[in-house]
Amino acid sequence: MSAPRPVISSAIRIGLCTLTSRITGLARDMLLVQIFALSWVQDAFNYAFLLPNLFRRLFGEGALAAVFVPTFTRTLEEAGKEPAWRLLARTLALLSLALVVLIVLIEVVILAVWLWAADGAPDHLAARKLLLSLTALMLPFMLTICVVALFSSILNCVGSFVPAALTPVILNVFMIAALVGFAPLLKRDEPQVLVYAVAASVLAAGIVQILVILPVLRVHGVRLGWRLQPRDPQVRRMLGMMGPVALGQGVLLVGVFLDAQICALLTHVHGTPGTAQVLGLSFAYPLEEGALSTITVAQRLYQFPLGVMAVSLATAALPTLSRLAAREDWDNWSSEIRAALRMAVFTGLLAGGLMILLAEPIVRLLFEYRNFDSADTLRAARVLRCYGFGMWAFCAQHIVLRGFYSLGDVVTPLKISCVFLPLNVTLSLILIWVDSVREAAFGISTSVTSCLAVLTGLAILHYRKARGSSVPRLLVAIARMLAAAALSVAAVAWLRLHWLAAPAEQATIVQRAVEALGSLGLGVVIYLAIAAALRLPEPRTLLRRRPPRPGQSD
């Protein structure tokens, strides 16, 4: 099996693969909004796609990876390959069985609600039959995507990161093929037919992802099996931890799911009454069609750098942190946490600053064509700016969570989530009624509560395991990063004002690209140059693909 690579080096490899995935995913999303626009059909598809995708992020990449990777790594280190393969076989069997049962239960609930919606339910529920149908169709994808996530975790444990990071490309290609292949065959007034074809392509992609990753596992010597032994103490302990870990993902993931529920319930669908009644209270819907799609566009854009940088870094860090924790090598564990955290904040501050400044040009370049007009651009850009303020926290949160999980601690992140998730929902429910805010409320609430959650988690981690008096140096380094980000954003703003700004109306694709991509490229170059001038090691680490020398990460 492959020897473990340095965390930053592995993170760069994962980041390059994730970049490929994000680019194809962005192309997929561009096609979706061109065909469906910010409509209820698009809202319904985004909602249906959210549930299996959320399970991938919560249980597959999140809870399963956080619980399974430390346990599997420890078993491989201490007991050898054979016990590790047995653990894998038992985990796979119990996980797949649990997911099948869960899918069946959810399908039964969806069917019951759909039948009610079809026969005598209130108008606001009847209008959501499309949402229910698509959700029922795409739900089995939850099983395949979580199995792929388990296999990806195994590959990460044995030092192979690239194949697992490329599997999402398959999903994107299948969805693009469905959109390109079926859209010309249908009339413009038949979007509901096309959306089912896209949903079916998602199911097909899940099966192909498994078929592609199986040979890679065999090449790396991983022996698969399926042994249903629910009383195995290790497996029961892991599955018992998955619930708390999933909820402990906090504002950034669980909050996305809750945001979608609020959007689905409080969006006015054209052709239905503009008011609803709940518990005898009548109120006007605060959100219009396309609210969930607008939020999804903004989320896709902030998740682009997040997936390429922070998630890649956290994915590479978890096996190393787990290995160091198993050896009780706390000095090196603390150094790895600080180095990963610094890199996450370093990239997050740059991404967030440029996101706030360039939200409109980026959305206009990528989405403002055909059925997506200038008003839609302003709508999505406003939400994206709100997410930009919390970008540093979104990046840092992944490192903080991996720090706790490498220690086998799933309770502390859960407690933090229990404190801040209610605040997140409360802020959203208050702000969506403000005319000047509406769907931007979800970006504001997520950014505020994520920042608070990350600061709380960092304080707890430092109190428990930090070594040496590194906090003052870390704070000084972050202050220098913030100064570099502010100066680079100011420089790009000046350049846009005098040289790069494209006309808001009737701009050509070249003008849009120069304004958005030129500004982004200049912002990155200026930021790296200022950071290097301030003697921060992160630019050199990124450009040379080497981890920082001891002492640099402090």
pLDDT of residue 11: 67
User: Tell me, what amino acid is at 388?
Assistant: G
pLDDT of residue 550: 37
pLDDT of residue 51: 81
What residues in the chain have per-residue pLDDT under 70? 1-11, 58-66, 117-127, 186-189, 246-252, 278, 466-470, 502-505, 544-554
Given the DSSP bridges, would you call strands 275-278 and 281-284 parallel, antiparallel or unpaired? antiparallel
Burial class from Cβ neighbours inside 10 Å (0-12, 13-18, 19+) for residue 256 reads buried
Contact 494, 482 (CB under 8 A): no
Between the alpha carbon of residue 39 and those of residues 252, 413, 436, 455, 492, the distances in Å are 25, 36, 21, 38, 34
CA–CA separation, 130 and 40 (whole Å): 9
- β-partners of residue 267 are 287
Contact 48, 338 (CB under 8 A): no
Return the structure tokens found at 326: 């198993």
DSSP one-letter string for 223-270: PP-----TT-HHHHHHHHHHHHHHHHTGGGTHHHHHHHHHHHHHEEPT
Q: What's the per-residue H, E or C state across 32-47?
A: HHHHHCCCHHHHHHHH
Return the structure tokens found at 36: 């469906």
Q: Which residues of 401-429 are buried (b: 16+ CB within 10 A; e: fewer)?
A: bbbbbbbbbbebbbebbeebbeebbebbe
Return the structure tokens found at 504: 């808001």
CA–CA separation, 310 and 339 (whole Å): 12
DSSP one-letter string for 62-78: IIIHHHHHHHHHHHHHH
Contact 379, 368 (CB under 8 A): no
Tally of CA atoms within 13 A in the half-sphere of 22 that contains its CB? 19
pLDDT of residue 4: 43
Three-state DSSP class for residue 297: helix
CA–CA separation, 193 and 473 (whole Å): 58
pLDDT of residue 409: 84
pLDDT of residue 381: 96
